Structure 1
Amino acid sequence: MYLTGTYKHNLDAKQRITLPAPFRKEFGEKVCLIPIGGKILGFTPEGHQAWVESYFPNGYNPRSKKDERLRFLLNAKTMTLELDSAGRLALGKLGAEALASCDIKREVAVVGNTDHFEIWDAEDYDKTIAELDESIDELDSLMYD
């Protein structure tokens, strides 16, 4: 799976978004969503499992309180949702608190980030991109010196 691109959408009255068609092709019927870091990350179930396991490069140790707490939190905050027949995700099922923690209102940006997608509040996304664009000249000079 290789997800790229940015797609702007509005939540409907039931707090659903339509997953962009290129992304729907990469997902089956289920999407694992986790609100974290001011955005919502979306993984396939297998991708989510790999993401959780990536936090334990030396392997998960069930006798370690730190490992147990981290795995518990990562899984407890994740909700697995089914895409409906129109390819929509019901973000409202995450709960009002989760959406508020990500500042998700009505307009969102759905962004491909290689092995997962991210759902950002559109205004927060635009602000972040503007800040990153300021450093693009520096990147250009490093790449094309």
Structure 2
Amino acid sequence: MYLTGTFKHNLDAKQRITLPAPFRKEFNEKVVLIPVSGKIYGFTPEGHREWVESFFAEGFDPRNKNHVKLRRALTSMAFTVELDSAGRIALGKLGAETIGKCGIEREVTVLGNVDHFEIWDSARYEQEMSEVADDLEDLMFG
């Protein structure tokens, strides 16, 4: 999977968005959504498992309390939702409080970030990208 691009969408009355067509091709029927730092990540179930496992470079140790706590947090905050026949995902399944913490109201930006997509409030995304634009050369070339 290699997701790229930026797409503008509006939530519908049921707090759903249509996943961009290039992304729908990569997802069968299920999407794992997880709120992360004011945005929502979307993974395939396998991609979410790989992401969780990436936090344990030496492998998950069920006798390590920190490993257990981190894995619990990363899995309990995630919601698996169905892609409907129109390619929509229901953000409402995350709950109004979670969506509110992400600042998502109506206008959203959906972007590909290699192994997952991200859903941002459009205004927040534009602000983030304007800040990054100033530092892009430093980020790229140190």
TM bucket by the smaller chain? over 0.9
Q: Tell me whether 1:113 sits opposite 2:113 in the alignment.
A: yes
Distance, in Å, in 2 between the alignment partners of 1:102 and 1:23 is: 21
> Which residue in 2 is equivalent to 1:20?
20
User: So what's the TM-score if we normalise by structure 2?
Assistant: 0.96
Render the CA deviation track for 1:68-124: whole Å, top value 9, x for unaligned.
111011000000000000000000010011101111110000010000000000000
Distance, in Å, in 2 between the alignment partners of 1:37 and 1:137 is: 24
Distance, in Å, in 1 between the alignment partners of 2:35 and 2:27 is: 19
What is the number of equivalent residue pairs in this alignment? 142
Aligned-pair Cα RMSD in Å: 1.4
Following superposition, the deviation at residue 139 of structure 1 comes to: 5.9
Distance, in Å, in 2 between the alignment partners of 1:64 and 1:137 is: 40
User: So what's the TM-score if we normalise by structure 1?
Assistant: 0.94
Structure with bigger gyration radius: 1
Aligned-partner SS, 1:26: coil
> Which residue in 2 is equivalent to 1:32?
32
Q: Which runs of 5+ in 2 are unaligned?
A: none
Aligned-partner SS, 1:134: helix
Distance, in Å, in 2 between the alignment partners of 1:135 and 1:52 is: 29
